[in-house]
Structure 1
């Protein structure tokens, strides 16, 4: 390094000295310079040498800094070298590759793939589990649900508009949209939710959602990952609706109280099956971090082409978390109002049908990534209307689930479930029986753009 610096200095020194020598050679050789001229010339050379030393010191200092500083890339190093030659400042280095979250902005993209293997010890000939819609396949692998969600929450400080679109494929979507007239044929078969939102500047914000959205009733939801057990219970499958189409309005008073009103077509239909409408209300109360209650009430005509038989539903969910590891949940349902009529009117009920059910849940976290959960349900379909038996039917079931989270994004669950009924709702081979035992292993792989690559 030192030799290179000296060489540079000598080159610059010679380049400055040569014009002086040349000028001296151009003078006539017959006259000798005076002592005064020589002294003046030496002063000029001394001044030029001082300037040369200063320039060499600046140049060698900048070069040393460029060589010792870590270069982000070959391109950035070239920029530094070019700046030393041209005297310009290097341009700012380009920023790192933008993340998906920064590209989407306030919009989040999330989803999951939910697959399972189910074993039915009755070995039904149909390879279907009785009373099960979301994990119906027996003695085989199955795709419960593959879902993609695009979501933007309204924000008063940014934008008061928002949207939510959830697309899905699998057995869960077949169950949820089974009542649609074009189920399995149209695009709505793959649409779980689709609505836009507006947060009106009323108090702390009055939010309006218009479109297709899931029901507020029940302790469970369509997505496995958000439930305590892998399989969905009897109450979720038969006592309540899955979704609604229409409008809902929600006002959150504070972190303890929230009230939501509904004006919708009815139960599980985008296109209404009569000219009446269903009204509903949901009240959520969380007095503290340990206790919560959600009460839902809905009423409206739900039978095809009939407006005078009003169906009513009351759904209550209690949650209690005494410790950080232990949680309890209790769900109760009561429904009534429809009258069953066949084409021949041979099975017309003279009274309004009704159904009731209760489910209890418990969950305990063994560790940060492991938990066990249990569920017990009792369901009374007094007229066999929701289960389709056309006679009094009682069902109860017990489920035990072990959960382990793998690598933050994979939820694994192993579950044993026993279903029992007073009616032969299950099959052993090809013979109707009153009970069944199943063992299920499920995997749910999730992703979320808002997690920043965790």
Structure 2
């Protein structure tokens, strides 16, 4: 029983009783009424008084009604008393004596609520730990209908139904804390195949990946130096690996993300915010993704500089890395620079324009006995039609003239993507996405459902492009 409903019933009974009493009193005055009429004419004054006395029958009726009012008042008092007893009976509370076993259903429920409340308090208030999650699942159709369901030059989406990503984010705030991101699904499968956990043996592709796990410490110097040590995602790129509070504009990852940049690093970082306009980050790490098969333990240097105006409607971030990433060639270094400009013009509310440019060069016999370089550019146009409906258009090209990052054949690849995202109003944190994408290359590199070469395992006939249509649901909390 709802306490509010019982209280409303009692209140209505009081109101009925009060109206009845007022009505009876008004009728009683009508039955026993004294009327006085006063007439004044200049100086003389005449007063006429008329008295109406209730008959014996009317008096009996008045006494009977008064008795009924008294009975009604008594019933109302009895009802109020019963309501109070019911409210006390349904009160959910743990046992009155600490450590005592619960004797009623209410005490069982109250004890469970108290335990849950205590756990939440210990994690959030006392320990400063927060736990969040994200699930991204959907269906994608590749109109090439490729053998093996492979979408060429994609980070981790593929043809057909798929669990794109399951993410568990655990974090502790404070002077000393930690961050961990545990990924599941196709994202984990792809990341674990390409990266190196730390300094242990590579385990190959699998459907679980501890993508991030690092300690944090804020040194009390100036405004506070933020220190990180462990494994973390790269600072480079406009796009990143999704977490509950950081979703990319588009569902699929772009060419720059998949072909031009690393995914994770293991090392240390230090960040400092100078003022409202300038911040910087510097670090040392083991290199790109899988240092066990790349850099012979040579350190890579990374840095980032962020500039923005007061309200952050205009910002510019430049990231860079440099260090050995070629197995057996510790003096052959890979250098990368990546700039990202973001503008939210005040004269067009809800519009975001973002541009990224990437250039990288690697020394030594990277491919075909010589060095290699690659570059690319991406443009994003994002507009929020309403707080629930967003349109994100991405266009980009990636030039791999030496074939070091694609198939070994020098080529230029470009793509255009249109994504619509809709926040489901009935469920907080639920997002629906619909995306169409076209990829194209200067070479025939895209697989289809044609015949397979039994020697190479590839299609006899490759195409210049591919088109995909995807529908996904993302739930984050």
What is the TM-score when the length of structure 2 is the normalising length? 0.70
CA distance in 2, matches of 1:409, 1:357: 33
Task: Report deviation, 1:186.
Answer: 8.3
Partner of 1:215: 234
Distance 1:122 1:252, change over 3 A: same
CA distance in 2: counterparts of 1:434 and 1:341, whole angstroms = 26
Equivalent of 1:281, from 291, 298, 303?
A: 303
Partner SS for 1:102: helix
Aligned twin of 2:475: 445
Judge conservation of contact 1:334–1:356 (CA < 8 Å) in 2. Answer: yes
Deviation readout 1:352-390 (Å, 9 max, x if unpaired): 21111000001111111111110000111111101132x
Question: Residues 182-238 of structure 1: CA distance to partner in whole angstroms, max 9, x if unpaired?
Answer: 233789x51110000111110111111000001110000111861000000000001
Distance 1:285 1:101, change over 3 A: farther
Contact 1:133–1:171 (CA<8 Å) still a contact in 2?
no
Are 2:426 and 1:387 aligned? no
- Flag structure 2 segments of 5+ consecutive residues without an equivalent: 1-79, 97-109, 451-460
Q: Secondary structure at the match of 1:314?
A: strand
1:29-178 alignment, distance < 5 Å = 67=84, 70-71=87-88, 73=90, 97=114, 98-99=116-117, 101-105=120-124, 106-135=128-157, 137-138=158-159, 140-154=160-174, 160-178=175-193
- CA 1:66–1:149: 2 relative to 1, 3 Å: same
Q: Deviations over 1:117-141 (max 9, x none)?
A: 1111111122111111221x21x10
> What's the counterpart of residue 238 of structure 1?
259
Shift of 1:172: 1.4
* Higher RCO structure (Cα 8 Å, ≥6 apart): 1
Q: Cα offset for 1:280? A: 1.2
CA distance in 1: counterparts of 2:136 and 2:249, whole angstroms: 15
Structure 1 residue aligned with 2:444: 424
Where 1:71 maps in the other structure, the secondary structure is helix
Task: After TM superposition, give the deviation of residue 175 of structure 1 in Å.
Answer: 2.2
- Equivalent of 2:215, from 196, 209, 216? 196
Q: Distance in 2 between matches of 1:255 and 1:288?
A: 6
* Structure 2: distance between partners of 1:185 and 1:330: 32
Structure 1 residues 338 and 238: CA distance shift in structure 2, 3 A: farther
Determine the structure 1 residue equivalent to 2:391: 372
Instruction: Summarize deviations over 1:322-372 as a string: whole Å, max 9, x none.
Output: 144111100000000243457xxxx212xx211110000011111111111
Give, in whole Å, the separation in 1 of the partners of 2:150 and 2:86. 68
Q: 2:354–2:381: 8 Å Cα contact kept in structure 1?
A: yes
- 1: CA distance, partners of 2:186 / 2:113: 42
Which of 288, 295, 300 is equivalent to 2:318?
295
Flag the 1:68–1:196 CA change in 2: closer, same or farther, 3 A: same
Give the corresponding residue for 1:336: 361
Unaligned runs of 5+ in 1: 1-62, 80-92, 155-159, 448-454
- Match among 387, 395, 400 for residue 418 of structure 2: 400
Q: Which residue of 2 aligns with 1:182?
A: 202
Q: Per-residue deviation at 1:442?
A: 1.1
Partner of 2:249: 228
Q: Which string of whole-angstrom CA distances, capped at 9 and with x for unpartnered residues, describes residues 288-312 of structure 1?
A: 3210111111100001132111100
The answer to whether the Cα contact below 8 Å between 2:192 and 2:205 also exists between their aligned partners in 1 is no
**2:374, 2:181 → 1: CA distance?**
31
Distance in structure 1 (CA, Å) of the matches to 2:209 and 2:93: 49
Distance 1:318 1:425 in 2: 31
User: Is the 2:350–2:385 Cα contact (8 Å) retained in structure 1?
Assistant: yes
Give the deviation of 1:408 after TM superposition: 2.1
- Alignment size in residue pairs: 357
Deviation at 1:77, TM superposition (A): 13
Offset from partner CA, 1:375-427 (integer Å, 9 cap, x none): 000111111101132x3210110000111011221111100000000111202
**Conserved 8 A contact 2:242-2:248:** yes
Query: Which residue of structure 2 lines up, in the alignment, with residue 263 of structure 1?
Result: 284
